[in-house]
A and B are shown apart, each in its own frame.
Chain A
Amino acid sequence: MKSSWWKILTIVLLAYTIIAGLLLDVPRLPILNETIRALYFHVTMWFGMIIMLVVAVIYSIKFLRTNDLRNDDIAIEFTNAAILFGVLGIVTGMLWAKFTWGDYWSGDPKQNASAIGLLMYFAYLILRNSLTDVHQRARIGAVYNIFAFAAFIPLIFVLPRLTDSLHPGNGGNPGFNAYDMDSNLRQVFYPAVIAWTLLGTWLSVVRVKLKRAERKIEDRLINQL
C-alpha cells in the first residue's frame, strides 16, 4: 500500500482533470470560446509526452553506459507510452484545430513537426523489431533513440519559432501566458500535466514488469532444456 500512493494520486488527479476541466469556469476569449478547455488535454498530453521521452533518452544513455538490459526495458516502455500520448495529443489537437482554425489539418509548422516527430518514433519501433538479437536490439535501439531525440528537439522547439505558426504564442497570436495567467486555468493545467505524466509512468511500469517476468520465464525454459 505504501508504494501505491502515487497510483491513487494519479486516479485522483485524473478525475480532477476531467471533472474540473469540463465544468470549471474558463475565461471567454474570442474564437477560442469553450475550446480553450483543450488546453487541459491536448497541451498537457504533449507535456507528458516530452517528459516521458526525456526519461527514455536518459535510460538509453544509462543502457549504453552499463549494458544492463533492465535500463533498456524502461527506455522502450517509456517511448511506447510517449508514442501513445503523442498520438492522443495529435488527435485532440486536430479536433481543437477543426473548431478554431476551421480544418483538421491546416499545415501549421508545429502540426507538421509533431507528425514528423511521430514518424521518427515509429521508425524507432520498426528498427527495434527488425533486429533479432536482444542485446544488439537494445544497443542499436538506444543509439537511434538518442540520435532521433537530438533531431527532435530542434524540430519541435526551434524551427516552428522561425516561421509564423497558428499556434498560440507564435506569429502574433495571443501567447500562452496571455490566458495562462488566469489562475482558474492554472488550477487545472498543472495538476493535469502531472496526472498524464503519472498515468504514462504507470502504464510503462506495468509493461516493464510484464517484460521482465516474460524474460525470466524464457530463461527458465531455456535453462531446463
Chain B
Amino acid sequence: MFQQIHTLILKELTLEWRQKYALNGILLYVVSAVFITYLSVGAKQGNIGVPTWNALYWIIILFSAVNAVAKSFVQEHQGRQLYYYMVASPEAIIVSKIIYNSILTLVLALLGYLVFSIILGNPVQDQGLFLLNLILGSLGFSACLTMVSGIASKASNNATLMAILSFPVIIPILLMTIRVSKNAIDGLDWSVSVDKVITLLAINAIISATAYILFPYLWRS
C-alpha cells in the first residue's frame, strides 16, 4: 500500500515534470490572476484594506486550485486509467492524488503569496500561523477537489460541473481558512485561533475520510 502510494506520487511528479507546459500554465494563471486583481482594484502598495487583501488572496487561490486539480482525472486517457485500475488499489490512487495535489496547491498558494506580497504589499504579521494555515488549507482544498474531479470526470460538460459541485462543498474549508488567515494577518495571539485551526483540521479529516471511503465505488464504475 505505502509502496504503491510512493510509486504513484513519483509517477505524478515525473509526468508533471515531463509536461512542463501544464505546470507552467497554472503558475502563469496565478500570476496573471493576481495582476488582473491588482489592476482592477486600482490599489497601490499598502492602499488596500486587510479584509480585502485576505478575501482576494483566498479567492485567487481557490480558482487556481480548481483549475490545477481539475486535470488530475479529467485529462487522463481512458486507457491509462484502465491500466491504473489493473495495477493499483483505488485507495492508493486517491491517497497519492490527494498528497500530490496538496503539494501542487501549496506551491500555487506560496507563489500567489509571493506575488501578492510584491505588488499588493504584505500585511501578514504572524508568518508561522499564516503558513500553517496555508498547509492545512491546501490539504483540505486538494482532498475536496480531487474527489470532485473524480466525480466530474465521469460526466460530460465537466468544467462547469467541477465548479458547481466543488464550490458549495469547499465553502466550510474556505471560511475557516479565511478566518484563521485574518487572525494571522492581524498578528493575534495563537490562543485565539486554536479552536478554528482544530475545526479546520476536523473538517479536513471528515472530507478526506469520506473521499477515501467513497472513491473505490467511483473508481469501479
Looking at chain A's contact residues, is the secondary structure mostly helix, strand, loop, or mixed?
Answer: helix
Complex contact A162–B195 (CB within 8 A): yes
Of the listed stretches B46-54, B122-130, B162-170, B182-190, name the one at the interface; the rest are far from the partner chain.
Answer: B162-170
Q: Does A144 sit within 8 A of B, measured CB to CB?
A: yes
A120 touches B168 (CB 8 A): yes
Distance in angstroms between the alpha carbons of A150 and B168 in the assembled complex: 12
Using known A-B contacts A140-B151, A143-B214, A143-B217, determine if residue A155 contacts B165 with beta carbons closer than 8 Å: no
**Chain B contact residues: helix, strand, loop or mixed:** helix
A 112-123 to B, binary, CB cutoff 8 A, 1 in contact else 0: 000011011011
How large, as a class, is the contact surface on chain B? Answer: 20 to 34
Within 8 A of A (CB), among B193-221: 195-196, 199, 202-203, 206-207, 210-211, 214, 217-218, 221
**Which B residues are closer than 8 A to A by beta carbons?**
144, 147-148, 151, 154-157, 161, 164-165, 167-169, 171-172, 175-176, 195-196, 199, 202-203, 206-207, 210-211, 214, 217-218, 221
A contact set with B: CB distance below 8 Å: 64, 116-117, 119-120, 122-123, 126-127, 130-131, 135-136, 139-140, 142-144, 146-148, 150-151, 153-155, 158-159, 162
4 smallest CB-CB distances across A and B, nearest first, come from A120-B168, A150-B210, A119-B168, A151-B169
18 contacts between A and B (CB under 8 A): A64-B214, A119-B167, A123-B168, A130-B156, A131-B154, A136-B154, A140-B151, A140-B155, A143-B214, A146-B210, A151-B144, A151-B172, A153-B206, A154-B202, A155-B171, A159-B175, A159-B176, A162-B199
